[in-house]
Structure 1
Amino acid sequence: MKYNQFAYSLPTPQQQILELQRIKMYPVDVAQYSFDKLTRRIFRQFFPDYRSQAALETQLRNLLVDEQQNLFTYLANIGDRFEQHAFYNVALQLLGFYTPSEFSLDDPIATMKQLGLPFVDKLYFNTESLTSAVYQLLNTPSKNGLTFIDNLAARGYYTINLSANEQQRPLFFNGKAQATFSADQLIREVVYVESDLDTDHDGQRDLLEATIIRPKPANDFIKLPALYTANPYFKGTTDTPMNEVNVKLAVKPTGDARENQDNFDDFPTFDTTNPSAALTNPFANHSSVAEPSLIGTVTLNDYFLHRGFASVYAAGIGTRGSDGIRTCGSPEETASTIAIIEWLHGDRRAFTDRSRLDEIAAIWCSGHVAMTGKSYLGTLAIAAATTGVTGLDTVISEAAISSWYDYYREHGLVVAPQTFQGEDADVLTNECFSRQKDAGDYAKVKLFYQEKLAQMKHDQDRETGSYNHFWDERNYRNNIDLVKCPIVSVHGLNDWNVKPKNVYKLNEALKAQGIAHKVILHQGQHIYINNFPSLDFYDLINMWLANKLCGLENHADAIFPDYLIQSNLDESDWQTPTNWTGTKQKELSFAKDFDNSANHKTEFIDDGVKAFHESGLSDLAWEEAFINQDERFAKNQLVFKTPTANEERLITGRPVVQLTVKSSANRGLISAMLVDYGEAHRLTVRPQNLELQARQLGYHGPLETTMAFKPDTKMTSAKLIAKGHLNLQNRNNAYEGQPVEPNQEYTLDLNLQPTYYHLPAGHQLGVILYATDMGMTIRDQNELTYSFDLENSLLKLNLGKTER
């Protein structure tokens, strides 16, 4: 494995000394120390969990500087210099690597280079070069991926070296917040934020329950920044049946679907400047106490609790403990999300309980807020950013939706997130409407809620799949011009739940507005990546938040790459291109540039639904069989493969399949897959465990298992790169239905999901043309025939420069 560090910078020698003194690694009178005295002091500091002289001596004797000598003996005779090979032999052992199985004592520098770890390139260290070596070592990733100083902190370094008062205040080292706050003194509380909404139509402002978990500062004058996660699942979910997918593809009416009236998104609101009744005790400043929660917290937030950041969680309208009803993706949902930020910033009031008698202010909060979370959680962070709400200084969103149409629809079709066939906005709304769990509370809103849910089911329009007013209200990119804060987006290039075009389109829109947008693309599916040792993810986000929430001048904007993309050929290879989409364009003719094009079939019949049901395959198993040309589905596809590539190619951005096609009926849909064909041990798209409970996120903090994408133990012959789907009636755009005449040719561009894919030498690039996708589109047993003019059909690619 190679350890990639993108958040590390080496300051001047004088600054290194100042920072080492600040964290108590160096004494304030370091200039008075001889070389040997300073060196022995430093290595004692590396063992905060061994305080007696005997225990410390044992640890020093357990470390070898070479084959004949241990560290204790070496330090006893140190003199006025430290040999490079001796220092890095010890350093590798301190970082958790074993000799001789993982490195040789004869050549530690070779291992440092192989692992991508920084080192001082001098054969002998004097005081200045030793200082640089120590500073670098503290900021070097250990075997578990956390920096050495983070692992020291988890072992009690700051508890031993800082006073009780110093431990409960922010401390920064190499531009990052340190884990100086104790997990044993966390404050947990619940408040009820008053919104301007009345989504349950009871004549009162909806109260929104928020749970706060925050470290205890040294005094009330220290204000903490907040990491806020809007999590609709936080208070539980309900079992909700999916919509039927074995239905006929409708012939939709012509015209602009955006003109269709949407009656769902119509709720009363109140004026913030005119709150409800006066309070008997308006500034009580105490709150009800929340029971410690074992579910729903975000690990990234937990990491920052030890570093002086509060964690705030709110499930939003219609969830257990709050008022209102769920309204998936709506402006009301966004308003309930930002209400919490407004309270944290001091612009909205909250109560200690649901009686609305005692007001509570977030007096502990600095007013600086970042939003975090994955999937729906990250989506609401994007929603909040597009309001321009004051107090939201940045967003760290992972696998986030930027338009709900791009989640549940595609190019005029109903298209499901992978493994969730039949899910739609109505299903997710009901799933997160956790007020149903309290029977008495639910009874008050049941009839109204059921009416609104039926209205949502109608307005989302599964009949046509067109982009209408309902979906336009749920397109956060419409308000991109209101975004004021920089955004970090993390997304999986193999995420077929929240598909990559959500972050791709967001990136294009933010760039056009000149808003800073940092994009991290990994090779996984719908996952978090904070526990991947090959990337210094925690440090990147730490550096970013120290700058955005704490005002630390650490050059985060310049250091954090605009694009950080993991290679599909090597999980340790993280690349930093200047753009997602490469500048070289290439067109491949379906008639000339694929193997056997001259004799290729030009039509297929879309009658595979019956075979799919008879096969008993799951959606995922069907996709694998389909890509590998299973004979049960062979007549439902046309497969094209290029000649074997004689060199590696990098496919970037959004591939486009330009087709001239006709349907045998007055309706139809077209799907396409871009496929890598060739035998290989490809990276698994699901991360594998490296080491269980390999690291601790702070002193007495939570334990975390490290993971990585590993080469599959078995050879595979094909890998999906990208796919796309399109309704023939929406060949120009997603909102305008156009007629389809049977057996009449139409030329269209089918934009596939964006990618960043290295096609290895010796492999073939394949395209599969088909119609019904058993895992995503509706399943119409229609037996339509689709025919193609290959002479007038192209695959358009954007190629980038390979860096391998």
Structure 2
Amino acid sequence: MAIRARGTRIQWRTLVPAVLAALLAVLVQPSGVPTAAAAAPAESRPTYDYADAIRESVWVDTGIDGDGDGRNDRVAADIVRPREPAQQGRRIPVIMDASPYYSCCGRGNESQKKTYDADGRPVQFPLFYDNYFVPRGYAAVLVDLAGTNRSDGCVDVGGRSDVQSAKAVVDWLNGRARAYGSRTGGTSVSARWSTGAVGMIGKSYDGTVANGVAATGVRGLKTVVPIGAISSWYDYYFAKGAPLYDSGPDWLSDYVESPEARARCKAVQQQLVDGAPRSGDWTPLWSERDHVPDAGRVRASVFAVHGMQDLNVRTRHVGRWWDALADAGVERKIWLSQTGHVDPFDFRRAEWVKTLHRWFDHYLLGHDNGIDREPMADIERAPGRWSTDRVWPADGTRATTLRPRTGAQPGVGRLGLLPARPGAAETFTDDPKLSETDWAAAAGTPSPAKAAFLTPVLRKDLRLSGSGSVTVTATPSTAGAHLSAVLVDLGPATIRDYGDAGEGITTLPERTCWGSSTGGDSACFKETEPRTAAVGHTVFSRGWADLGNYASEHTGRPLTPGKKYTITLDLHASDHVVPAGHRLALLVAGTDAGLIEPPASTPRLTLDLPRTSARLPLVGGAGAFVRATAGSPPRAAAPTDLPRTAVGDPRAARVPSGTGR
């Protein structure tokens, strides 16, 4: 199914006489985009003078008092908009990026920050959105989240304050909120220049805020473009009870807050500590910061971009969000790259700018340019080589159960459609010094730290598209245990080196320009090229859990040594082709070093193989697996449909896009 089915848009010119069509063509909604009859051009053009653009700041009343000072918080919204439409009495749409990083850390590959002149007017806007889109008839609005840069309030890391910081600006642009010319006092300022049509964009934390605002169902937000964004803050810090970092949201709040906010927001900081215990148990704090259950409220279209090797904001975030949006019938599009936590401007620049331009033209200006009828998914197959799919996950994807069995060597078993014999088992001991890359490098070799299960050498390509899961029945030797499951493509390939500091790109000294410049805001940015690595294996999906969460995703409990427990690990969304001549491997181990915090003990775990299985999103289902492995299917191997949608060095420091890209 395409983003919007062909034929659903009314073609007014075929329904009304030419005279009526001409009349309708001049009608424009006063607070929205042109009507379908407006005969908008196929593409907005750079017709306005960027150097003469209006640059201003307003402070929007959020309606909440997060810092407890007795008055509503005001967030700073810096604006660049073309002067000519205002002079002509015409309104324009808005491209908005709400971020906590504009003063502490910077945005983009060059860590750009906002700058201001002596009178406090904005001079430099990070990234290219203002340079490129303002001359084309858009306003660029960059919002400082509460507690950051020039805004009041406190950072609450994905909570009500963060989301309301941006939602209030959308409301103001639609005449539903108040703004002022200064942070304290000042005269009321209206946004009569705005059509009310808003598109939010942003990478990482910024994109997470866009997801959160969309999940409120706010009117006027026409589209969101989340890049490497979080959909549930619990999933950022934990994986089914397993702690993924040595800190919680209080550390991140302290990292991005302005010095003034840090002094006045100690109570909010303590709430973040108390509400996010390192036990991994679910609390009301996490419910407030989980946007997935509210996907049914989303009115905006969604263009999601994510790196399939992003070990910071992992693809579980885009996978769960995508599934929920699909269930809600939201118009959507997706790009999946081979990079880590990288902006598409830095891995596919020309195509990204062209596609984003057409996307905003369609959803904010009402141009019928066909982007809503084009393939839903672009997927990077090799560095710089892309394929498209009409829908995602790919047509014909089926959830197929593969089962581990023992092999000729202990710890190196087989993976296929047939179940293991009764009583079959494999044993490993958690070694918290080893990571998924260590396990994968020794996939075909007996090792005390992992259990590996391999398919035969494939005779045909085997594609996995979407999200899967691994159900494990294990007997621990201690009262606590971590589990990891990873999927590995065993065979040579050239991939983007996502473990490098650039996470798959190399920054070059040469610059290319994307829009208009001024002396204080250049439209020219450093070029990049893929940073590649020749490898003998590729980890392409992973999942983690604390075995103590066997009875509940949300609450852990001590284990009884020697007792069997069953738990399902959610594998992160991916789209990967295991080529003919390679093998697919499932690895089960303990702590994934650099990603999961070390446990209090290092248990020995025994896997009950007949009660362990992997449910994987195979394109073509069990039949495709049989053809790829040249085997014969068991009678019970009938595939079932997947839900409509689903899917280096891991020790690198992880922040949701603090400095750098």
Match of 1:451 in 2: 267
Are residues 797 and 632 of structure 1, via their aligned partners in 2, closer, same or farther at CA, if it must alter by over 3 Å? closer
CA contact (8 A) 2:96 2:201 kept: yes
- Is 1:760 paired with 2:628? no
CA contact (8 A) 2:404 2:453 kept: yes
Match of 1:32 in 2: none
User: In the alignment, residue 494 of structure 2 is paired with which amino acid?
Assistant: H
Q: Could you give the per-residue CA deviations for residues 67-107 of structure 1, whole angstroms, max 9, x where no partner exists?
A: xxxxxxxxxxxxxxxxxxxxxxxxxxxxxxxxxxxxxxxxx
Q: Distance in 2 between matches of 1:535 and 1:797?
A: 34
Match of 1:358 in 2: 187
- Is 1:785 paired with 2:621? no
Q: Could you give the per-residue CA deviations for residues 217-246 of structure 1, whole angstroms, max 9, x where no partner exists?
A: 2524122211111011113259xxxxxxxx
Are residues 646 and 593 of structure 1, via their aligned partners in 2, closer, same or farther at CA, if it must alter by over 3 Å? farther
CA contact (8 A) 2:481 2:599 kept: no
User: In the alignment, residue 526 of structure 1 is paired with which amino acid?
Assistant: H
Match of 2:276 in 1: 460
Question: Map of 1:46-195 to 2, 5 A cutoff?
Answer: 175-195=42-62
User: In the alignment, residue 461 of structure 2 is paired with which amino acid?
Assistant: E
CA contact (8 A) 1:220 1:364 kept: no
- Is 1:229 paired with 2:53? no
One of 510, 515, 526 as aligned partner of 1:698: 515
- Is 1:498 paired with 2:313? yes
User: In the alignment, residue 308 of structure 2 is paired with which amino acid?
Assistant: L
Q: Distance in 1 between matches of 2:385 and 2:330?
A: 29
Gaps of 5+ in 2: 1-12, 14-37, 107-116, 415-419, 625-661
Are residues 317 and 292 of structure 1, via their aligned partners in 2, closer, same or farther at CA, if it must alter by over 3 Å? closer
Please state how far the C-alpha of 1:777 moved relative to its aligned partner: 1.5
- Is 1:709 paired with 2:576? no
User: In the alignment, residue 782 of structure 1 is paired with which amino acid?
Assistant: S
Please state how far the C-alpha of 1:292 moved relative to its aligned partner: 4.4
Higher helix share: 1
Match of 2:654 in 1: none
Are residues 639 and 323 of structure 1, via their aligned partners in 2, closer, same or farther at CA, if it must alter by over 3 Å? same
Are residues 428 and 227 of structure 1, via their aligned partners in 2, closer, same or farther at CA, if it must alter by over 3 Å? same
- Is 1:479 paired with 2:302? no
Match of 2:569 in 1: 750
Match of 1:565 in 2: 379
Give 3-state SS (helix, strand or coil) of 2:495's partner: coil
Match of 1:677 in 2: 490
Q: Could you give the per-residue CA deviations for residues 111-165 of structure 1, whole angstroms, max 9, x where no partner exists?
A: xxxxxxxxxxxxxxxxxxxxxxxxxxxxxxxxxxxxxxxxxxxxxxxxxxxxxxx
User: In the alignment, residue 274 of structure 2 is paired with which amino acid?
Assistant: H
Question: Map of 1:420-459 to 2, 5 A cutoff?
Answer: 422-434=246-258, 436=259, 438=260, 443=263, 445=264, 449-459=265-275
Which entry has the higher C-alpha Rg, 1 or 2? 1
Q: Could you give the per-residue CA deviations for residues 618-658 of structure 1, whole angstroms, max 9, x where no partner exists?
A: xxxx5533432399994322223222212211112223222
Q: Distance in 1 between matches of 2:462 and 2:376?
A: 22
Gaps of 5+ in 1: 1-14, 16-170, 239-286, 417-421, 613-621
One of 225, 236, 240 as aligned partner of 1:396: 225
Count of residues paired in the alignment: 555
User: In the alignment, residue 791 of structure 1 is paired with which amino acid?
Assistant: P
One of 318, 333, 338 as aligned partner of 2:167: 338
CA contact (8 A) 1:374 1:528 kept: yes
Are residues 376 and 172 of structure 1, via their aligned partners in 2, closer, same or farther at CA, if it must alter by over 3 Å? farther
User: In the alignment, residue 391 of structure 1 is paired with which amino acid?
Assistant: G
Q: Distance in 2 between matches of 1:348 and 1:588?
A: 54
Match of 2:212 in 1: 383
Q: Distance in 2 between matches of 1:785 and 1:729?
A: 15
Q: Distance in 1 between matches of 2:99 and 2:528?
A: 25
Please report the RMSD computed on the Cα atoms of aligned residues, expressed in angstroms. 3.1
Give 3-state SS (helix, strand or coil) of 1:573's partner: strand
Please state how far the C-alpha of 1:682 moved relative to its aligned partner: 2.8
Q: Distance in 2 between matches of 1:468 and 1:204?
A: 29
My pick for the range that moved more, 700-709 or 511-520, is: 700-709
Q: Distance in 2 between matches of 1:778 and 1:796?
A: 26
Match of 1:548 in 2: 363
Q: Distance in 2 between matches of 1:631 and 1:659?
A: 20
User: In the alignment, residue 235 of structure 1 is paired with which amino acid?
Assistant: S
User: In the alignment, residue 241 of structure 2 is paired with which amino acid?
Assistant: G
User: In the alignment, residue 495 of structure 2 is paired with which amino acid?
Assistant: R
Q: Could you give the per-residue CA deviations for residues 645-678 of structure 1, whole angstroms, max 9, x where no partner exists?
A: 1221111222322222111123222111111122
Please state how far the C-alpha of 1:177 moved relative to its aligned partner: 1.4
Please state how far the C-alpha of 1:389 moved relative to its aligned partner: 1.4
Q: Distance in 2 between matches of 1:395 and 1:692?
A: 31
Please state how far the C-alpha of 1:594 moved relative to its aligned partner: 9.3
CA contact (8 A) 1:663 1:742 kept: yes
Are residues 594 and 496 of structure 1, via their aligned partners in 2, closer, same or farther at CA, if it must alter by over 3 Å? farther
CA contact (8 A) 2:232 2:289 kept: yes
My pick for the range that moved more, 341-350 or 622-631, is: 622-631
Q: Distance in 2 between matches of 1:692 and 1:176?
A: 31
Identity of aligned residues (%): 26
Please state how far the C-alpha of 1:289 moved relative to its aligned partner: 5.2
CA contact (8 A) 1:687 1:707 kept: no
Please state how far the C-alpha of 1:497 moved relative to its aligned partner: 0.9
Question: Map of 1:5-84 to 2, 5 A cutoff?
Answer: none
- Is 1:212 paired with 2:85? no
One of 453, 476, 501 as aligned partner of 1:663: 476
Q: Could you give the per-residue CA deviations for residues 12-49 of structure 1, whole angstroms, max 9, x where no partner exists?
A: xxx9xxxxxxxxxxxxxxxxxxxxxxxxxxxxxxxxxx
CA contact (8 A) 2:443 2:585 kept: no
Match of 2:553 in 1: 734
CA contact (8 A) 1:302 1:311 kept: no
Q: Distance in 1 between matches of 2:186 and 2:487?
A: 60
Give 3-state SS (helix, strand or coil) of 2:319's partner: helix
Are residues 648 and 473 of structure 1, via their aligned partners in 2, closer, same or farther at CA, if it must alter by over 3 Å? same
Q: Distance in 2 between matches of 1:523 and 1:479?
A: 29
CA contact (8 A) 1:626 1:633 kept: no
User: In the alignment, residue 340 of structure 2 is paired with which amino acid?
Assistant: Q
Q: Distance in 2 between matches of 1:632 and 1:289?
A: 67
CA contact (8 A) 2:293 2:324 kept: no
CA contact (8 A) 1:187 1:216 kept: yes
Q: Could you give the per-residue CA deviations for residues 753-804 of structure 1, whole angstroms, max 9, x where no partner exists?
A: 11100111211212221111221212125131101122332222221269xx
Q: Could you give the per-residue CA deviations for residues 478-534 of structure 1, whole angstroms, max 9, x where no partner exists?
A: 222221111111111111111111111111111111111212211111111135458
Match of 1:198 in 2: 65
- Is 1:529 paired with 2:344? yes
Match of 1:151 in 2: none
Q: Could you give the per-residue CA deviations for residues 347-366 of structure 1, whole angstroms, max 9, x where no partner exists?
A: 21111113413111123222
Are residues 533 and 461 of structure 1, via their aligned partners in 2, closer, same or farther at CA, if it must alter by over 3 Å? closer
- Is 1:588 paired with 2:402? yes
Give 3-state SS (helix, strand or coil) of 1:177's partner: coil
Q: Distance in 2 between matches of 1:649 and 1:328?
A: 40
Q: Distance in 2 between matches of 1:461 and 1:632?
A: 39
Match of 2:657 in 1: none
User: In the alignment, residue 266 of structure 2 is paired with which amino acid?
Assistant: Q
One of 137, 145, 150 as aligned partner of 1:308: 137
Q: Distance in 2 between matches of 1:651 and 1:174?
A: 40
Are residues 653 and 525 of structure 1, via their aligned partners in 2, closer, same or farther at CA, if it must alter by over 3 Å? same
User: In the alignment, residue 372 of structure 2 is paired with which amino acid?
Assistant: D
Match of 1:147 in 2: none
Q: Could you give the per-residue CA deviations for residues 174-226 of structure 1, whole angstroms, max 9, x where no partner exists?
A: 72212222332232211111221111111111111111122222524122211
CA contact (8 A) 1:211 1:290 kept: no
User: In the alignment, residue 702 of structure 1 is paired with which amino acid?
Assistant: A
Q: Distance in 2 between matches of 1:316 and 1:679?
A: 45
Please state how far the C-alpha of 1:732 moved relative to its aligned partner: 4.5
User: In the alignment, residue 451 of structure 1 is paired with which amino acid?
Assistant: A
Please state how far the C-alpha of 1:299 moved relative to its aligned partner: 2.5
Match of 2:202 in 1: 373
CA contact (8 A) 2:482 2:599 kept: no
Please state how far the C-alpha of 1:744 moved relative to its aligned partner: 1.4
